[in-house]
Amino acid sequence: MRSLIVGTRKSQLAMTQTSWVVDRLKEVKPGLEVRMEKIVTKGDRILNVTLSKVGGKGLFVKEIEQALLDGRIDFAVHSMKDLPGEMPEGLVIGAIPRRENPRDVLLSRDGKMLAELPPGSVVGTSSLRRQAQILASRPDLRVEPVRGNLDTRIRKMREGQFDAIVLAAAGLYRMDWQSEICEELPINVMLPAVGQGALAIQCREDDHELLSLLAGINHEQTARAVRAERAFLVAFEGSCHMPLAAYAEVDGEEVHLTGLVAQPDGKEVIKKSMRGKDEWAVGKQLAKEMRELGAGQLLALSERS
Ligand SMILES: NCc1[nH]cc(CCC(=O)O)c1CC(=O)O
C-alpha cells in the first residue's frame, strides 16, 4: 500500500475523528503510513451565523471534496450527518465504521434534566430539528441559536448565555468529555439527525487499492442503518433547512427506520416508523407515506419562515 494523505478539518473533534479512523486502518494494515492535511472549510470561517441561513451542511465538506477530486488528498473523514445526501461525481463513501452513541444529550448549568428546567429557561441550539423536538416536549422553554465548536458552546452556557445546550453524544464521547452530560435524551423524545454518531470515509471511486483497505473497517450494520436514514433524507432534500430527523436500527435481516418532520415551533410533528429488508426502499417508502400524512406541506411551510 502506498503512503496516504488524509484531509481533515482543523477542529479538535474533526482531528480526533480522523486520528481514530487512521488508528483503525493501522490495525487492519500494520505499518501503514498516513499524513494529515488540515483544510479550513467555509463552515469553519463563519461560525457566528446560523448555518441554515448561510447554506447549510455542505459548507463543511466542499473544500475537502475539491481536494479529493484534485488528488491533493486520498481520503477524508466526515461526520456522516454533515454530508449532503448527494455526492459529487467521482467520489464515494468507501467505509462507514461502527457508529458511536447516536443520541442527543442535554448539558445544563444546574445539572438539571430537560423535564426539570424551570419554565422560560433558555436552551441553546442552532438545529431546527432539536428546536422543534425540545419545544414539542417543553413548549414553555425558549430556544436560542448557538454556534461554535463543542468547547465554545459549553463555555457560552457556563458564562450564562444559556441555561442548557443540546449536543450530539457522539462528539462528547469521542472527545472524552462525556462527564459534561446531564441527560442522554431518549430516542423517542429527541430523534437523532440522519447519520448522527456515524463517520463517513470518502475517497475517489476509482481508487481501488484504497477502497479494498477501507472495506476492512466498514461496519455493515451501521452502513445499512445509515443507508435507510439517507434514503429518507434524499427523498426530502431541496427542503433541507427544516426540522427533519431519522434513525434506523438493524434487527437481523430487517432495518427498522423512524422518521420525523416537524414545524420549527414543535406545534406540529409527523413521526412514523417502518421496517423492511431493503434499506433504500424502506427510506423512500417511509418518506412517501409521510408526505401523504402532510410532511410535504410542513416542509414547505418552514421553507417560507
Ligand atoms: N452539528 C455539528 C456536528 N457534526 C457532527 C457532530 C458530532 C456528532 C456526530 O458525529 O454526529 C457535531 C456536533 C453536534 O451536533 O453536537
**Domain assignment of residue 192, yes or no:** no
Q: Which residues contact 65 (CB under 8 A, 6 or more apart)?
A: 76, 88, 91, 202
Residue 42 resides in a domain: yes
Nearest Cα to 66, choosing from 46, 40, 48? Answer: 40
The total number of structural domains in the chain stands at 3
Q: Which atom of ligand 1 is nearest to the CA of 13?
A: 7
Residues at CB less than 6 angstroms from ligand 1? 79, 81-82, 167-168, 170-171, 196-197
Lowest mean pLDDT among 54-58, 98-102, 293-297: 54-58
Q: Do residues 235 and 262 both lie within one domain?
A: yes
Give the confidence band of 295 by pLDDT, cuts at 50, 70, 90.
confident
Q: What is the mean pLDDT of residues 179-185?
A: 97
Q: Is residue 224 part of a domain?
A: no
Say whether both 234 and 213 belong to one domain: no
Q: What angle do CA 86, 149, 67 make, to 5 degrees?
A: 40
Q: Are 129 and 298 in contact (CB under 8 A)?
A: no
pLDDT digits (tens, 9 = 90+) for 59-112: 778 889 999 999 999 999 999 998 887 889 999 999 999 999 999 999 999 999
In the predicted model, what is the mean pLDDT of residues 275-291? 97
* Ligand 1 atom with minimal separation from the 192 CA: 11
Residue 191 maps to a domain: no
**CATH number for the domain including 264?**
3.30.160.40
Q: DSSP character for 283?
A: H
| pLDDT tens by residue, 1-45 | 999 999 999 999 999 999 999 999 999 999 999 999 999 877 777
**How many Å is the Cα radius of gyration of the chain?**
19
Mark whether 296 and 168 lie in a shared domain: no
Q: Could you tell me the residue range of the domain that residue 134 belongs to?
A: 104-184
CATH assignment of the domain containing 33: 3.40.190.10
Looking at the structure, tell me whether residues 14 and 93 fall in a common domain: yes
126 with 51: CB under 8 angstroms? yes
Residues 150, 72 share a domain: no
Q: What is the mean pLDDT of residues 129-133?
A: 98
Taking the C-alpha atoms of residue 142 and residue 122, their distance in angstroms, rounded to an integer, is 5
3-class DSSP state of 241: coil
pLDDT at 50: 54
pTM above 0.90, yes or no: yes
The cell numbers describing 6, all together, are 488524509
The number of beta carbons lying within 10 Å of the beta carbon of residue 87 is 15
Both 60 and 208 in one domain: the answer is yes
DSSP summary character for residue 116: G
Same domain, 175 and 115: yes
| φ/ψ (deg, to 5) at 28 | -85, -15
- The residue to mutate among 123, 194, 196, 226, having the most atoms of ligand 1 within 8 angstroms of its beta carbon, is 196
pLDDT of residue 303: 59
| Helices 150-158 and 12-28, packing angle to 10 deg | 140
Same domain assignment for residues 262 and 278: yes
Rounded CA separation 202/204 (Å): 7
Q: Are residues 69 and 41 in the same domain?
A: yes
Residue 147: inside a domain: yes
DSSP bridge pairs for 203: 75, 92
Looking at the structure, do residues 16 and 88 belong to the same domain, yes or no?
A: yes
pLDDT on residue 140: 98
Q: Is 193 among the domain residues?
A: no
CB of 88 closer than 8 Å to CB of 69:
yes
Note whether 202 and 63 are same-domain residues: yes
Q: In the chain, pLDDT over 90 holds for what percent of residues?
A: 82
pLDDT, tens only, 145-160: 998 899 999 999 999 9
pLDDT tens per residue, range 263-274: 999 999 999 999
Report the Cα–Cα distance between both ends of the chain, in Å, rounded: 52
Q: How far is the CA of 292 from the centre of ligand 1 (A)?
A: 31
- Structure confidence at residue 85 (pLDDT): 78
CA-wise closest residue to 262 among 154, 74, 135, 172 = 135
Of 263, 266, 257, residue with least CA distance to 297: 263
Catalytic residues: 82
Mean pLDDT, rounded, of the chain: 92
Q: Residue 138: which of 272, 242, 267 has the closest Cα?
A: 267
C-alpha cell at 172: 462528547
**55: CB partners within 8 A, 6+ apart:** 42
Residue 152, in any domain of the structure: yes
The pLDDT value given to residue 61: 86
Torsion of CA 247, 145, 243, 199, to 10 degrees: -30
Give CA separation, 77 vs 6, 29, 137, 199, in Å.
8, 18, 34, 7
Ligand 1 center to residue 209 CA distance, Å? 30
Average pLDDT over residues 125-137: 97
Lowest mean pLDDT across 48-62, 91-105, 203-217, 290-304: 48-62
Q: Answer yes or no: is pLDDT of 55 > 80.
A: no
Which residue has the least CA distance to atom 2 on ligand 1? 82
Mutate to test the pocket of ligand 1, among 79, 100, 101, 166 (most ligand atoms within 8 A of CB): 79
Pair (67, 207) in one structural domain: yes
pLDDT higher than 80, residue 47: no
The Cα–Cα gap between 85 and 228 comes to: 12
Question: Measured between alpha carbons, how far is residue 260 from residues 3, 133, 244, 299 in Å?
Answer: 43, 10, 6, 11
pLDDT for position 86? 83
Does residue 136 lie within any of the structural domains?
yes
Strand 4-9 relative to strand 75-79, pairing: parallel
